[in-house]
Structure 1
Amino acid sequence: MARPCIGVFDSGFGGLTVLRALLQHLPGADFLYLGDTARLPYGSKSAETITRYTSAAIHTLVGHGAQLVVIACNTASALALPHLQGNSEVPLVGVIQPGAEAAKLAVRDIQLPVLVLATEATVASHAYQHACAQHGLSTIEKACPLLVPLVEEGWTDHPVTRQVAEIYLEESVAATRPGAVLLGCTHYPLVRPLLERSIHSLLGPIPVIDSAEATAMHIQGMLPAASHNSNAPSALRFFATDSPQKFQRLGQRFLAQEVDLVTLVDLDR
């Protein structure tokens, strides 16, 4: 059986945490990753613009051989995926619905809400609120705008990052105790150990759900068993719309391995 080729798209670097999880769960697949680094962040743009950018990225990945595309960007998953899913030539998977499904499995008391930590744009979209509601779960949504720049600075276990995380958590649970915490941003897996320590210190041993990990497990369930095991390493190709050198430098931090070659692409062509 031919190895499946999976495309992964994000507005920048954060989706590499989804790719990292996919590499762990699907060693029998090959991967293409495209970061639209020329036009990030997506959070300040309209739904129409984000949909157009996402459509162009999908077209590029399919043109390079992707048989399935993961939209590893919470903003694009929330705003573009609903418009593109029915008309795509390949299956599309976002990060929001798998995260909500994982929350449903993790919550021990369905009466307790799920605390969603995410960016301002994702919180404003209420995409996780709607996805969790489909599984009978209520949510507390908390925007954590300082965590992304702290992660990109490399301060993943820094006292400042711990203090910022604790402030966000204390503000989130001042009125209601959650039954689980869902990390709704692809940057957050890099600070998951720090967040878990803060969450467990404040709230006790409640489940912490990584939407990147949940997405990888969801896709694992979609593909043949041959994709789950292989002696041959996955082939990886990387594309960026700006500054391949910066992508290589930051990408290694998110992927936890070398990013050898990044091809510059123009999505407007």
Structure 2
Amino acid sequence: MQQAAPIGVFDSGYGGLTVLRELVRQLPLYDYIYLGDNARAPYGARSFETVYHYTLEAVNWFFARGCHLVILACNTASAKALRNIQQKDLPRIAPQKRVLGVIRPTTEIIGEYSQSGEVGILATSGTVASESYPIEIQKFFPEVKTFQEACPMWVPIIENDEIDNPGTVHFIKKHIHNLLQKGPNIDVVLLACTHYPLMRNKIQEYLPVSVKLLSQGEIVAQSLENYLQRHPEIEEKCSKNGQIQFFTTDSTEDFDRKGSLFFGETVKSQRANLGEPTKF
């Protein structure tokens, strides 16, 4: 049997820490390694080919550290890279390992929250352009209509700690208005970017009270718990010491400062080099 190792959690930057926070809360016994590719963030506006290349480098980095399971806690990476990695790369480089994303767990259940049959998606430009959410929701809930709105300013606002700036309200109201114009009967809105939960309260203020607002962290954590129960051959390869390691491809000082806001407690990171040779 291969040696047990932490669960890898990847994001282009800080947003995946909101997912990791829920993973640790719901599954505290497991060990986790988090990697933020801050040096090359944001991924949202990059091409499919570039995001795929960057994400595969990160997956290889986790595999080189013994991880048997990697979670892409990044909507853009999940939308633009996950399918290729699962179908093309894993059978060739690591057939016994697994890479999961954040889109499918959400789309599997989102229709259950809607009475009207209209669902809204607030996301980055890259995630919207990928059409991943409409495509996946259609598979599970063919009767549900999905409406998307790209919010390109929201990630910079969050990462620059401008959430409480009066100008932020303009961008929140603008995108909510645009979304509800597209789907007047929307009764469920998904924050399809892992940064957005930091603005959840402000977003909620400008949504009609009848609209339910969903974040991905809790959904993904519950989905992972179910996955591990269904796949004991993977679960037994996940180490269980309740430890967390944080890595970034950029400044550790910046990551520790901003990352603590996303994770909800103090973060102490190490520097990672995605150019390291693969050793699995």
| Superposed pair shares fold, TM > 0.5 | yes
Match of 1:179 among 141, 165, 187: 187
Provide the secondary structure at the position in 2 that maps to 1:191. Answer: helix
The verdict on how the C-alpha distance between 1:246 and 1:52 changes in structure 2, with shifts beyond 3 A counting, is same
* Aligned residues between the structures: 259
Q: Do the aligned residues in 2 keep the contact of 1:181 with 1:209 (CA within 8 Å)? A: yes
**1:154 partner letter:** D
Q: CA deviation at 1:91?
A: 1.5
1:205-244 mapped onto 2 (5 Å cutoff): 205-224=210-229, 234-244=242-252
Q: Do the aligned residues in 1 keep the contact of 2:250 with 2:271 (CA within 8 Å)? A: no
Match of 2:271 among 258, 263, 267: 263
The verdict on how the C-alpha distance between 1:264 and 1:163 changes in structure 2, with shifts beyond 3 A counting, is same
Q: Do the aligned residues in 2 keep the contact of 1:244 with 1:264 (CA within 8 Å)? A: no
Q: Do the aligned residues in 2 keep the contact of 1:119 with 1:143 (CA within 8 Å)? A: yes
**1:139 partner letter:** T
Q: Do the aligned residues in 1 keep the contact of 2:248 with 2:269 (CA within 8 Å)? A: no
1:98-113 mapped onto 2 (5 Å cutoff): 98-110=105-117, 113=118
Tell me, in whole angstroms, the C-alpha distance in 2 between the residues paired with 1:234 and 1:157. Answer: 34
Q: Do the aligned residues in 2 keep the contact of 1:99 with 1:209 (CA within 8 Å)? A: no
5+ unaligned residues in a row in structure 2: which ranges? none
Match of 1:91 among 87, 98, 106: 98
Tell me, in whole angstroms, the C-alpha distance in 2 between the residues paired with 1:268 and 1:28. Answer: 29
Q: CA deviation at 1:268?
A: 5.7
**1:215 partner letter:** V
Q: Do the aligned residues in 2 keep the contact of 1:157 with 1:191 (CA within 8 Å)? A: no
Q: CA deviation at 1:53?
A: 1.4
Tell me, in whole angstroms, the C-alpha distance in 2 between the residues paired with 1:44 and 1:147. Answer: 13
Matched, 1:143 2:150: yes
1:50-89 mapped onto 2 (5 Å cutoff): 50-86=51-87, 87-88=89-90, 89=94
Q: CA deviation at 1:242?
A: 1.6
Match of 2:47 in 1: 46
Provide the secondary structure at the position in 2 that maps to 1:134. Answer: helix
Match of 1:132 in 2: 137
Q: CA deviation at 1:179?
A: 2.3
| RMSD of aligned residue pairs (Cα, Å) | 2.2
Tell me, in whole angstroms, the C-alpha distance in 1 between the residues paired with 2:69 and 2:204. Answer: 32
Q: Do the aligned residues in 2 keep the contact of 1:21 with 1:213 (CA within 8 Å)? A: yes
Q: CA deviation at 1:108?
A: 2.2
Matched, 1:30 2:17: no
Tell me, in whole angstroms, the C-alpha distance in 2 between the residues paired with 1:253 and 1:55. Answer: 27
Deviations 1:87-135 (A, max 9, x none): 423221111111212312211233xx21100011111111111111112
Give the TM-score of the pair, scaled to structure 2. 0.85
5+ unaligned residues in a row in structure 1: which ranges? none
**1:15 partner letter:** G
Deviations 1:160-189 (A, max 9, x none): 323321221112112522121011101001
Q: CA deviation at 1:233?
A: 6.9
Deviations 1:239-267 (A, max 9, x none): 11121211111111111111123233233
Q: CA deviation at 1:218?
A: 0.8
Tell me the percent identity: 36
Q: CA deviation at 1:157?
A: 4.2
